[in-house]
Chain A
Amino acid sequence: MATLAGAQTTPYAGANAWRVILEWLTTVDHKKIGIMYLWTAGAFGLVGMAFSLVMRTELAQTGTIISAETYNSIFTMHGSVMIFLFLLPVGAAFMNYSMPLQIGALDMAFPRINALSFWIFLFGGVLLTLSFAAEGGTASAGWTAYPPVTLDTASNAEPPGAGMDMWLVGVILLGQASIFGSINFLVTIFKMRAPGMTMWRLPLFTWTTLVTGLLILLSTPVLAAALVLGFIDRNGAEGAFFDPAAGGQPLLWQNLFWFYSHPAVYIMILPAMGIVSDVFGVFTRRPVFGYRSMVLALVAIGLLGFIVWAHHMFTTGGVFLPFFMGATFLIAVPTGVKMFNWIATMWRGSNIFPTAMLFSVGFLMLFLIGGITGVFHAAVPVDFALHDTYFVVGHFHYTMSIAATFGFLAGCYYWFPKMFGKFMNEGLGKLHFWLLFIGVNLVFFTQLMLGLDGMPRRINDYADNPGWELMNMLITIGAFVSAAGMMVFLYNVFYSLKWGERAGSDPWEGTTLEWATTSPPPAHNFDSLPEIRSERPLFDLRFGERLQDDPHYHVNGNGHGNGAGGVKTPSASAREEG
């Protein structure tokens, strides 16, 4: 953390290194906490990527290099790390950093709880990582950990060891961190908005934070329940909850798990959607098309997200298929609305394409494939064929994994100047984009085809069927190309921290309030706030006068303000007293 502390211009100029470290360790500043989330999650993301390279090396050809146990442990940790230690906390990083700035708040509603949730997250993550040292190794039943194979029961031939318990406890902790975080986000958005910032003037990223917070709050306790039951099952109850030999119900776990984990895929993708919405708004100089329908679509996705969990269980024979099929199909509609709105935002726009924008366009292209392949899975009979094959691996990577990652990378390029006062290097950024875009398509499109041909997921070796070795080799090549892209990114981060071009307070001609303060912002965020009359207060400031006669330009914003026009904002110092 010393490097990033060094890059940050702290108010305590001349403070010695220890002082700086101590300051970061004890900080309750949402910006610092956000940055710490970002660094930790980024590091875990690299670890997760390393695991994927191990898998791809194993699968490049038939035959085995590592043992089945090792492979199972690696794919489990790849999934668990990527989801619980990379995607979820990266989302939390941006929500922490940007949301309070976007609504003109001084900090989160509960700054200390905010710090607590970061440290719980870190502890949970370390626990998961340490399980490599446990006897019997890590958990090895996938990130979904379906019992009874996770249990220590008589009928299970190779019961997992302490690593499984560490996984359960680790994920409970991570869930707890999420819950704390979500309450904080919600209260902050509801209670800490600057005067004039009505709900219909929230930037779209803040809206996604709100819906994400609700999803986390309502679903994570259910996961926690499942994890606690699982822990009891392994330590004393001998499977009474989930092992039928002891009177339990294995499908109960799946229901509880997916009741969380389906909303969780939206918890991961929604913040990314929020980022690209903001990015499109800035780099097209247009209002994000259909602001209200964007918000309604978000809410619809959030609501529908709670009634589709059993689409992960179509082949279990234990769910009422037509209902979950119908609800799943329906989700395609609000998702499509968002897609069309984004495209319409660029339509007739005055578009420029810095790296953040490239990644946002990449997001659209990847998410499009993810969404369409999702419709295949929604059709139950087709899912009977495709479930648990590489098709599903391709599908979920296209959506929640790689599309979300693209959204977050857009966020990195977009907010890096705000966080560190310097631009990321654009040349390296473009190289990063193209390597990653080509690499991931090679990986995941080929996985779709492999899945159609019937290759099951979670296997460490495969039959020598025609075409399979070639496809697997292509996937492996794609994985290494993607990894090369990420190395460029890593280099770019450190390069730019040190030698990056200085960025002023508003380097992109931003539209939302985070650009109304210095880069990096002072500890108290704002010295003064502009008048807030719309969801784009800075745009109004910059172009409002020129657009006065444009009939399409709404002075009160595209959510059509809540009646009254802008409220004059009192100075920051006045707000600090209040």
Chain B
Amino acid sequence: MTALQRLWRTRIGRLTLVIGLVAMAQFALSGLLSAQVALPDAVTEQGEDIRALYLVIFAVGVIVFFIVEAMIIWVVFRYKRRSDDELPTQIGHNTTAEILWTGIPLVIVIVLFFASFFVLQDVQAGADEDDEVTVVDVQGRQWAWAFNYGTPLGTSLAEAVSNDPAETEIHLEDPSLVVPFMTLKLGIEHMRVVARTGDVVIVERAVNGTVPIRHSAGTEVMRSFNGTDTVAEGRLQAADNTPVLTVPIGQMIRFNIASADVLHAFYTPQFLTKLDAVPGRVQTLWVRITDPGVYESQCAEFCGRDHARMIYSVRALAQDEYDDWFENKAGSAPEPVEGDFGGEQEVEQEEGAVGNPVNGQNLFFAMGCNVCHGDQGEGLVGPTIAMTVVPLYRVVEQYREPLEAMTAFPPDQISDEEIADIYAWLQTVERPPVALEIPSKLAELIEAGG
């Protein structure tokens, strides 16, 4: 007789065996799945708070689950009808019990409410006065991301807005946060940025919170600052031209989240948080990243056909590496896409995966693209394509099966790689301001300034 059989004989032994077996099965299953029953570790301060709150709720949830589940299983197995004419007790209520099982859950949820409330305050607190702050504009587009690296807090448009509703010109020390045709909701007021030149931003203000109707078709949102990283075709696997968002660790980072078209959501799983990109609004998400690394991320609000491919990665660098990268980017004139990532080792780039802009420029003229789109891609008969934010694969589609009057270019005339070259070059040419439909007042300003 084995030890197991002996154990099986006693009641307690049987119970231990059964529980042991069930527990083992559980662990085997979760091991098999490398399963999460908790949120993954966070790489931000705020995320750690959220994870702690999660664990509290998880603990409460697990306890409640096992108690109630045990009660269900108990009543199912314990109370069975033994004979056909058996009549059970007709107790129909019990005030004490009912008060208990109303009161205890009530207390639990009140406690959880306050715990969640304080964590919420914490994660939304933003920067303290003595915090160093990095500001990044994030703009979702079908199906691309634009990242725009700004300056320390204090120069953002929000704080420079005058209270005079008639005022339409706003002077900013550094207007790099401002994207033409972005609509802002500040307090209860809406305004739309019409354009900017130098440090002057022209806005349209709305009375009663509505923005005058204006279609921005044809004048795509421009990436205004040469620190904007490549906007590329989102892919499921992080690859050569996944949009990369570079940020420092240690500082408070303020993401200004906006959308150029439909809803998107900024979601980096390791931050344990997300915020929707709602067209017509600019919203703020604060994080302080604690761990350097590359974090794969993805749009989390359904945004149309290629929602699943709208990925990006966040690259968190140590402060000095970030400073180098930023200097490099801010100081340089438009440069080839290639060297644009600051050459940090975290991002593995495949050799030659990004187009060659020099070759691209030659091809642009050789193929005669300039005839319709202008020598700088600024748009003539055809639309403006300089610094296009249309993802590469859609540009390729346009070559093969053009939507509008453009001539089709089959692969034997121009290969996918060559299109990528042209695409790369187009990213380097600054989009000339004349391509914007701008009010005459602004045109004057530009004239005067230029």
A462's partner among B50, B101, B236 (CB-CB below 8 A) is B236
Distance (whole angstroms) from the CB of A412 to the closest CB of chain B: 21
- Contact assessment for A384 and B76 in the assembled complex, using a CB-CB cutoff below 8 Å: no
- Contact assessment for B305 and A158 in the assembled complex, using a CB-CB cutoff below 8 Å: yes
Interface string of B369-411 (1 = CB under 8 A from A): 0000000000000000000000000000000000000000000
Q: A155-B217, A251-B278 are in contact. Are A376 and B87 (CB under 8 A)?
A: no
Collect the chain B residues with CB atoms within 8 Å of residue A120's CB.
Answer: none
Interface residue A240 (Cβ < 8 Å from any Cβ of B): yes
Collect the chain A residues with CB atoms within 8 Å of residue B109's CB.
Answer: 329-330, 332-333, 375
- Contact assessment for A452 and B91 in the assembled complex, using a CB-CB cutoff below 8 Å: no
Return the chain A residue nearest B270 by Cβ. A454
Q: Which one of A284, A316, A321, A389 has the greatest number of beta carbons of chain B within 10 Å?
A: A316
Interface residue B93 (Cβ < 8 Å from any Cβ of A): yes
- Contact assessment for A244 and B217 in the assembled complex, using a CB-CB cutoff below 8 Å: no
- Contact assessment for A250 and B280 in the assembled complex, using a CB-CB cutoff below 8 Å: yes
- Give chain B interface residues in 292-342, CB to chain A under 8 Å: 296, 298-309, 311
- Give chain B interface residues in 15-69, CB to chain A under 8 Å: 32-40, 47, 49-50, 53-54, 57-58, 60-61, 64-65, 68-69
Interface residue B215 (Cβ < 8 Å from any Cβ of A): yes
Interface residue A326 (Cβ < 8 Å from any Cβ of B): yes
Interface residue B413 (Cβ < 8 Å from any Cβ of A): no
Distance (whole angstroms) from the CB of B179 to the closest CB of chain A: 14
Interface string of A260-302 (1 = CB under 8 A from B): 0000000000000000000000001111111111000000000
- Contact assessment for B262 and A155 in the assembled complex, using a CB-CB cutoff below 8 Å: yes
Interface residue B260 (Cβ < 8 Å from any Cβ of A): yes
- Contact assessment for B65 and A452 in the assembled complex, using a CB-CB cutoff below 8 Å: no
- Contact assessment for B90 and A388 in the assembled complex, using a CB-CB cutoff below 8 Å: no
A352's partner among B80, B143, B304 (CB-CB below 8 A) is B80
Interface residue B432 (Cβ < 8 Å from any Cβ of A): no
Interface residue A154 (Cβ < 8 Å from any Cβ of B): yes
Collect the chain A residues with CB atoms within 8 Å of residue B260's CB.
Answer: 155
- Contact assessment for B304 and A149 in the assembled complex, using a CB-CB cutoff below 8 Å: yes
- Contact assessment for B236 and A461 in the assembled complex, using a CB-CB cutoff below 8 Å: yes
Return the chain A residue nearest B215 by Cβ. A154
- Bound-complex Cα distance A339 to B65 (A): 12
Collect the chain B residues with CB atoms within 8 Å of residue A502's CB.
Answer: none
The interface-forming segment of A185-193, A219-227, A542-550 is A542-550
- Contact assessment for A244 and B280 in the assembled complex, using a CB-CB cutoff below 8 Å: yes
- Contact assessment for A244 and B283 in the assembled complex, using a CB-CB cutoff below 8 Å: no
- Contact assessment for A348 and B79 in the assembled complex, using a CB-CB cutoff below 8 Å: yes
Interface residue B81 (Cβ < 8 Å from any Cβ of A): yes
- Contact assessment for B89 and A348 in the assembled complex, using a CB-CB cutoff below 8 Å: yes
- Bound-complex Cα distance A290 to B94 (A): 7
- Bound-complex Cα distance A387 to B54 (A): 13
Interface residue B197 (Cβ < 8 Å from any Cβ of A): no
- Bound-complex Cα distance A381 to B120 (A): 6
Interface residue B105 (Cβ < 8 Å from any Cβ of A): yes
- Contact assessment for B213 and A449 in the assembled complex, using a CB-CB cutoff below 8 Å: no
Q: A387-B274, A552-B90 are in contact. Are A325 and B305 (CB under 8 A)?
A: no
Q: Which one of A245, A329, A339, A453 has the greatest number of beta carbons of chain B within 10 Å?
A: A245
- Give chain B interface residues in 249-269, CB to chain A under 8 Å: 260-263, 265, 267, 269
- Contact assessment for A249 and B93 in the assembled complex, using a CB-CB cutoff below 8 Å: no
Interface residue B211 (Cβ < 8 Å from any Cβ of A): yes
Distance (whole angstroms) from the CB of A183 to the closest CB of chain B: 33
- Contact assessment for A347 and B57 in the assembled complex, using a CB-CB cutoff below 8 Å: no
Collect the chain A residues with CB atoms within 8 Å of residue B58's CB.
Answer: 376
Interface residue A466 (Cβ < 8 Å from any Cβ of B): yes
Distance (whole angstroms) from the CB of B30 to the closest CB of chain A: 8
Collect the chain A residues with CB atoms within 8 Å of residue B93's CB.
Answer: 289-293, 558
Q: A316-B278, A384-B273 are in contact. Are A245 and B215 (CB under 8 A)?
A: yes
- Give chain B interface residues in 271-288, CB to chain A under 8 Å: 272-276, 278-281, 283
Collect the chain B residues with CB atoms within 8 Å of residue A470's CB.
Answer: 32-33
- Contact assessment for B261 and A388 in the assembled complex, using a CB-CB cutoff below 8 Å: no
Distance (whole angstroms) from the CB of A519 to the closest CB of chain B: 21
The interface-forming segment of B111-119, B156-164, B222-230 is B111-119
Collect the chain A residues with CB atoms within 8 Å of residue B113's CB.
Answer: 325-326, 329
Distance (whole angstroms) from the CB of B47 to the closest CB of chain A: 8
Interface string of B82-119 (1 = CB under 8 A from A): 10001111111110011001100110011011011101
- Contact assessment for B90 and A553 in the assembled complex, using a CB-CB cutoff below 8 Å: yes
- Bound-complex Cα distance A158 to B394 (A): 12
Interface residue A364 (Cβ < 8 Å from any Cβ of B): yes
Interface residue B10 (Cβ < 8 Å from any Cβ of A): no
- Contact assessment for A552 and B276 in the assembled complex, using a CB-CB cutoff below 8 Å: no
Interface residue A368 (Cβ < 8 Å from any Cβ of B): yes
Interface residue B366 (Cβ < 8 Å from any Cβ of A): no
Return the chain B residue nearest A467 by Cβ. B34
Interface residue B237 (Cβ < 8 Å from any Cβ of A): yes
Interface residue A565 (Cβ < 8 Å from any Cβ of B): no
- Bound-complex Cα distance A286 to B260 (A): 61
Collect the chain A residues with CB atoms within 8 Å of residue B298's CB.
Answer: 456, 459, 463
- Bound-complex Cα distance A321 to B113 (A): 11
Collect the chain A residues with CB atoms within 8 Å of residue B90's CB.
Answer: 286-287, 547, 550, 552-554
Interface residue A72 (Cβ < 8 Å from any Cβ of B): yes
Query: In the complex, which range does the number of interface residues on chain B fall in?
Result: 35 or more
Interface residue B176 (Cβ < 8 Å from any Cβ of A): no
Return the chain B residue nearest A240 by Cβ. B213
- Contact assessment for A449 and B236 in the assembled complex, using a CB-CB cutoff below 8 Å: no
Interface residue B71 (Cβ < 8 Å from any Cβ of A): yes
Q: A317-B283, A337-B98, A347-B79 are in contact. Are A322 and B117 (CB under 8 A)?
A: yes
- Bound-complex Cα distance A343 to B54 (A): 28
- Bound-complex Cα distance A293 to B8 (A): 44
- Contact assessment for A285 and B35 in the assembled complex, using a CB-CB cutoff below 8 Å: no
- Give chain A interface residues in 324-350, CB to chain B under 8 Å: 325-326, 329-330, 332-333, 336-337, 339-341, 343-344, 346-350
Interface string of A430-474 (1 = CB under 8 A from B): 000000000000000010010011101011111110110011001
Interface residue B434 (Cβ < 8 Å from any Cβ of A): no
Interface residue B210 (Cβ < 8 Å from any Cβ of A): yes
Collect the chain B residues with CB atoms within 8 Å of residue A353's CB.
Answer: 76, 80
Collect the chain A residues with CB atoms within 8 Å of residue B94's CB.
Answer: 289-290, 344
Collect the chain A residues with CB atoms within 8 Å of residue B216's CB.
Answer: 154-155, 245
Interface residue A39 (Cβ < 8 Å from any Cβ of B): no
Interface residue B72 (Cβ < 8 Å from any Cβ of A): yes
Collect the chain B residues with CB atoms within 8 Å of residue A340's CB.
Answer: 97, 101
B89's partner among A156, A244, A286 (CB-CB below 8 A) is A286
Interface string of A152-187 (1 = CB under 8 A from B): 001111100000000000000000000000000000
B105's partner among A293, A336, A368 (CB-CB below 8 A) is A336
- Contact assessment for B304 and A156 in the assembled complex, using a CB-CB cutoff below 8 Å: yes
Return the chain B residue nearest A374 by Cβ. B61
Collect the chain B residues with CB atoms within 8 Å of residue A410's CB.
Answer: none
Distance (whole angstroms) from the CB of A452 to the closest CB of chain B: 4
The interface-forming segment of A106-114, A123-131, A140-148, A569-577 is A140-148
Q: A467-B33, A552-B90 are in contact. Are A157 and B120 (CB under 8 A)?
A: no
- Contact assessment for B261 and A157 in the assembled complex, using a CB-CB cutoff below 8 Å: yes
Interface residue A303 (Cβ < 8 Å from any Cβ of B): no
Collect the chain B residues with CB atoms within 8 Å of residue A247's CB.
Answer: 210-213
Collect the chain B residues with CB atoms within 8 Å of residue A233's CB.
Answer: none
Distance (whole angstroms) from the CB of A136 to the closest CB of chain B: 11
A315's partner among B69, B75, B276 (CB-CB below 8 A) is B276
B306's partner among A68, A148, A369, A372 (CB-CB below 8 A) is A68
Would you give 20 A-B contacts (Cβ < 8 Å), ordered by A? A141-B304, A155-B216, A290-B94, A291-B92, A315-B265, A317-B275, A329-B112, A348-B88, A349-B75, A351-B76, A352-B80, A365-B69, A376-B61, A378-B112, A382-B50, A384-B274, A454-B40, A458-B302, A552-B90, A558-B93
6 closest A-B pairs (Cβ-Cβ)?
A244-B280, A454-B269, A459-B308, A154-B217, A558-B92, A379-B116
Q: A158-B305, A322-B120, A467-B33 given; name 17 further pairs at CB < 8 Å.
A: A68-B306, A72-B302, A148-B262, A155-B279, A157-B143, A157-B304, A158-B142, A318-B281, A337-B101, A337-B102, A350-B80, A351-B81, A382-B53, A388-B301, A449-B36, A462-B308, A470-B32
